[in-house]
Amino acid sequence: MSLEGLFTWLSEEIKWALFIVLFIALIVTAFKRAWIAMIGVIIGLAFIGIFIVNPDILINISEFFAEKLNLGN
């Protein structure tokens, strides 16, 4: 058994645990009307959604900014 399979399984489980924790925090902050904390939770969910679930988007974002700023030529 290689460690790659264990790492893949563990990263998937951590991803789902973070989603569950942040959704619970979102519900709690909405119930308490803690709007600033709720915005932080929403940013955390967006961070997980963009960079942990689909890390290849980092390449697309960097290529977009390089194209717009005329970098690399």
- Give residue 1's pLDDT: 57
Please, are residues 29 and 41 in contact by the beta-carbon 8 Å criterion?
Answer: yes
Q: How confident is the model over 37-58, as pLDDT tens digits? A: 999 999 988 888 777 777 788 8
Percent of the residues in the chain that have a pLDDT greater than 70, as a whole number = 95
Domain boundaries, the chain: 3-68
Where are the alpha helices (H) located in 33-72, listed in sequence order?
35-47, 57-68
pTM: 0.65
Indicate the average pLDDT of the chain.
85
pLDDT-based confidence at residue 73 (cuts at 50, 70, 90): low
Helix, strand, coil content of the chain in percent (nearest 5) = 80, 0, 20
In this predicted structure, the answer to whether residue 24 has a pLDDT above a threshold of 90 is: yes
